[in-house]
């Protein structure tokens, strides 16, 4: 069933500093062996929960009728969760969709939070699902940017509140990567992010590789961008690598982080008092390039940058 | 709600480089692009959009970043097909691109579930093969093999086994629910390994009737060749026209766990 959000009282989102977890990695299908052999390298594991279940989609029932767990991957998750905190980083809420809001998916995250006690959870500031005919949905094929307009701010703020009411752990949104410029936006991206976090109490998952990618493709100074953000709302940072595709630099999670991303991380951590985690993301296909030692090097570098920034 | 129309229109452009090009090349004013047009209709005409949204869509259609968006869209849809149907993709070889184009043209709707995408692409290939549009004789059996393997790997093993235990003992004999028997016209021992290794298929693939057992009863799925008579009996099990199992064979197969009752 496709529903529109209803207005709700603003929830009390914890504004106190979260426990500083340290440095983690985003789960991908190449990682199970690494997690078994090198778990000591991680302070936490971040997971995309949608990788651990199949989803029959809107109208596909509730709970286990709709979301069927994939046993083999959940077994790996359970092994790690016994030893390390687990963070949920969802891809499927599609919080920016104008005509679709999937409350049953929020319930599923709430159920998983009850099971894994996420210190926080997050999703993306974008949309990728849309309402289709006969209650079915249409998928955009990639996370698409939203215009930074008042109308969109109000829409997403309402959805954030709905998430906060149902999932009793801080909720963060991640800044998106975008490859086209939408003209005539009512706000700049930093202004939109600052207002969204201020008006909802939602935290910011600042993906500094996304900032770096956007800066390269759209010709702005990423450090100036970071300086415009209210870094007091940043709870988590993502770092990653990328490469070129069709004439643009992309956030493809292609192996190790480029040097400018480490520099940007240093600037962010120096000004982010609530920062609780730095997560390294890489695509599974780059595991042979990185190997266990390569992953450790990225994690160690993140720790060094964080420590150096005090 | 015009924002919804804007999002649908933007996604349609991302899914279709041809539509993007058409919009970019259309009249320079938003009004003429959005209005009633000739044969192909206005690109934006079927969406309820504000003038600002029309200007935004016209602007992005002309940006090089749309080529990146279109490429990413295509890559994201191709990626699970390559991951879960690797032999099929290898068998298609240089035809893969054209087959993907044909598939994406018809199957615009997608979702987060790889399984539906994989099955839809497999069905699309089989339909085109039956229509004589893909002259690769071994295609149907390679597609069927990979779809069956993916289906077995996606099943909730623990639930299936628990249900089986609860039901056991009653009803006619049938294949274990975590087992599949596949019939091949070309010897799978000669057909499948080169497709995994990225090597060319031998010109003289042995032809005949062959059966392969896919077995997902344990953690690691295995495949093994079946003797002809056993393959025929197992593949016809429970269905009309299949040769019946001899009582002793049935007992042996039940003891091996390949056949269950219920």
User: For B142-154, what is each residue's pLDDT tens digit?
Assistant: 999 999 999 998 8
Task: Give the residue with greater pLDDT, B235 vs A230.
Answer: A230
DSSP-based three-state secondary structure for B226: strand
- Find where tokens 């259309």 sit: B26
Mark yes or no for CB contact B64/A151 under 8 Å: no
Q: Is the pLDDT of residue A261 over 90?
A: yes
Alpha carbons B134 and B132: distance in angstroms, whole number: 6
Residue A128: predicted pLDDT: 93
Of A71, A98, A137, the CB nearest to B111: A137
Task: Give the residue with greater pLDDT, A42 vs B166.
Answer: A42
Q: What's the rounded mean pLDDT across residues A248-277? A: 97
Residue A3: predicted pLDDT: 39
- B chain contacts of residue A155, beta-carbon cutoff 8 Å: 3
Q: Is the pLDDT of residue A13 over 60?
A: no
Q: Do B196 and B124 touch, CB atoms closer than 8 A?
A: no
Q: Quick one: which of A166, A64, A57, A158 has its CA closest to A109?
A: A166
Task: Give the residue with greater pLDDT, A15 vs A27.
Answer: A27
A39: Cβ–Cβ under 8 A, 6 or more apart, which residues?
A80, A83, A84
> ipTM of this model?
0.92
Residue B245: predicted pLDDT: 67
Residue B171: predicted pLDDT: 72
Q: What is the mean pLDDT of chain B?
A: 86
In this prediction the pTM is 0.87
List the single range of A191-195, B155-159, B170-174 with lowest mean pLDDT. B170-174
Q: Which helix (H) or strand (E) holds A271?
A: none
Interface of A with B (CB under 8 A): 50, 54-55, 57, 68-72, 91-92, 97-99, 127, 129-132, 136-142, 144, 147, 151-152, 155, 178-184, 217, 245-248, 250
Selected for mutation to probe chain A from B1, B4, B14, B69 (highest A CB count within 10 Å) is B69
Q: Do B40 and B88 touch, CB atoms closer than 8 A?
A: no
Mark yes or no for CB contact A248/B4 under 8 Å: no
User: Could you give the angle at which helices A150-166 and B2-15 cross, rounded to 10 degrees?
Assistant: 90
List the single range of A24-28, A51-55, A135-139, B110-114 with lowest mean pLDDT. B110-114
């Amino acid at each position: 069933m496709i529903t529109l959000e209803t207005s709700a009282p603003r929830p009390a989102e914890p504004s106190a500093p979260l426990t500083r977890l340290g440095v983690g990695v985003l789960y991908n299908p190449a990682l199970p062996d690494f997690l078994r052999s090198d778990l000591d390298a991680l302070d936490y594991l971040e997971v995309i929960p949608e990788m651990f279940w199949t989803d029959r989609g809107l109208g596909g029932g509730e709970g286990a009728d709709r979301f069927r767990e994939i046993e083999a991957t959940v077994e790996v998750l359970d092994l790690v969760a016994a030893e390390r905190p687990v963070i949920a980083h969802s891809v499927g809420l599609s919080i920016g969709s104008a005509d679709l809001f999937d409350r049953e998916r929020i319930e599923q995250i709430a159920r998983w939070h009850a099971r894994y006690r996420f210190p926080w959870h997050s999703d993306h500031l974008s949309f990728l699902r849309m309402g289709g005919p006969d209650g079915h949905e249409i998928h955009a094929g990639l996370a698409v940017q939203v215009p930074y307009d008042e109308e969109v701010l109000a829409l997403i703020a309402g959805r954030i509140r709905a998430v906060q009411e149902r999932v009793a752990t801080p909720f963060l949104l991640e800044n998106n990567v975008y490859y086209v410029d939408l003209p005539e936006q009512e706000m700049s991206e930093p202004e939109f992010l600052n207002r969204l976090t201020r008006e909802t109490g939602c935290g910011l998952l600042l993906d500094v590789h996304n900032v770096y990618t956007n800066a390269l493709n759209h010709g702005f100074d990423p450090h100036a961008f970071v300086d415009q953000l209210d870094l007091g709302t940043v709870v988590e940072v993502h770092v990653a690598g990328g490469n070129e595709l069709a004439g643009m630099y992309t956030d493809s999670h292609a192996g190790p982080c480029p040097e400018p991303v480490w520099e940007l991380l240093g600037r962010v951590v120096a000004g982010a008092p609530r920062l609780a985690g730095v997560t390294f993301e890489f695509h599974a296909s780059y595991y042979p390039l990185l190997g266990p030692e390569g992953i450790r090097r990225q994690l160690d570098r993140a720790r060094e940058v964080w420590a150096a920034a005090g | 709600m015009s924002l919804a129309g804007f999002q649908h229109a933007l996604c349609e452009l991302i899914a279709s480089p041809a539509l993007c090009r058409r919009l970019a090349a259309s009249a320079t004013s938003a009004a003429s692009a959005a209005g009633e047009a000739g044969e192909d209709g206005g690109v934006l005409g079927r969406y309820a959009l504000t003038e600002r949204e029309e200007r935004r869509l016209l602007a992005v259609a002309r940006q090089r970043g749309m080529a990146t968006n279109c490429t990413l869209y295509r890559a994201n849809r191709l990626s699970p097909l390559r991951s879960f149907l690797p032999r099929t993709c290898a068998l298609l070889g240089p035809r893969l691109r054209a087959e993907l184009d044909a598939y994406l043209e018809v199957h615009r709707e997608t979702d987060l579930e790889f399984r539906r995408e994989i099955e839809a692409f497999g069905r699309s290939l089989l339909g085109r093969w039956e229509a004589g549009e893909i002259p690769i004789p071994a295609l149907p059996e390679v597609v069927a093999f990979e779809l069956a393997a993916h289906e077995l790997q996606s099943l909730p093993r623990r639930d299936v086994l628990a249900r089986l235990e609860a039901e056991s003992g009653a009803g006619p004999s049938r294949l274990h629910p975590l087992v599949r028997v596949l019939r091949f016209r070309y010897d799978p021992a000669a057909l499948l390994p080169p497709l995994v290794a990225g090597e060319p298929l031998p010109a003289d693939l042995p032809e005949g009737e062959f059966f392969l057992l896919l077995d997902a009863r344990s953690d690691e799925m295995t495949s093994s060749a079946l003797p002809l008579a056993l393959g025929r009996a197992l593949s016809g099990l429970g269905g009309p026209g299949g040769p019946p199992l001899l009582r002793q064979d049935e007992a042996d197969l039940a003891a091996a766990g390949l056949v269950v009752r219920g």
